[in-house]
Amino acid sequence: MLSKNRIKYINSLKIKKYRQLHEAFIVEGAKSVLELLDSAFEIEFVLSTPDFQQKYASILSDHKTLVETVTAKELEGLGLFQTNDSCLAVAKTKDNVFLSADRQEYALILDDIRDPGNLGTIIRVADWYGIKKIICSADTTDVYNPKVIAASKGSFTRIDLYYTDLAGFLEAHAGGRNILGAFLDGGSIYDHPFSAEGGYVVMGNESNGIGAAVEAFVTHRITIPRIGEAESLNVGIATAVMLDNMRRVIE
């Protein structure tokens, strides 16, 4: 049976200020926890059902992780998702370490992405298309939000994120680079000659797009042409379209 202190600690990590205080975050579900175990993240402990422990005994023993046995009902009461009936882990967050795109590398820049599900989807999309670095505005949602972690489906273990003032970052570190921004009034993505020299792909806020401070540094305004009648594209889907076309041109 879980102690009250353990339950209180886990519940506190659903709130950003306590994640920052404890430098820890929650990972739920078998797939995400297995990805976590195979990553460089430091793990505090894993709560799991007997079935999960039996099925993945060799993996758990290899990592020498503290594992506590719980029931499926206890897990349902702890996490955000009632469908979790296998495991939950608590891991240590990573430091906010500087990132920039190397030559012949594309990195994503996210300007004020607020929805956790969108950020998690973008991380998963970046992982699919081989993007390893994401530079985020300071007001982009916290990568360690449980909803972000869940939506990334384990891809958070392979993608590095760096939070910073984007205008300052671009002024100091992106001079002479290709900076592609997604706009409604840009040139067609299907006609854009993505450069093999790499650079940055900028995606903006779900409602307002790329802010003026970041827009000033964009060297190529790109749009995804609308053929039908939909008013807009979800930013996660738009990111996938941008990266898919980029890969088609330079790979």
3-class secondary structure per residue, 41-65: CCEEEEEECHHHHHHCHHHHHHHCC
Residue 217 pLDDT: 97
Which CATH superfamily is 105-250 part of?
SPOUT methyltransferase, trefoil knot domain (3.40.1280.10)
Please state, rounded to an integer, the average pLDDT across all residues of the chain. Answer: 93
pLDDT at 82 exceeding the cut of 60:
no
Residues 6+ apart with CB under 8 A from 32: 149, 150, 152, 153, 154
Q: 81 vs 64, which has greater pLDDT?
A: 64
Q: Confidence band (pLDDT; 50, 70, 90) for 65?
A: confident
pLDDT of amino acid 81 = 64
Q: Which CATH number fits domain 4-92: 3.30.70.250, 3.30.70.60, 3.30.70.260, 3.30.1330.30?
A: 3.30.1330.30
Burial of 17 (0-12, 13-18, 19+ CB in 10 A): exposed
Give the mean pLDDT of 44-59: 92
Q: Please check the confidence at residue 79 and state whether its pLDDT lies above 90.
A: no
Lowest-pLDDT range of 20-24, 157-161, 193-197: 193-197
Q: Is residue 192 helix, strand or coil? A: coil
> Scanning the structure block, which residue is given the tokens 């042409």?
225
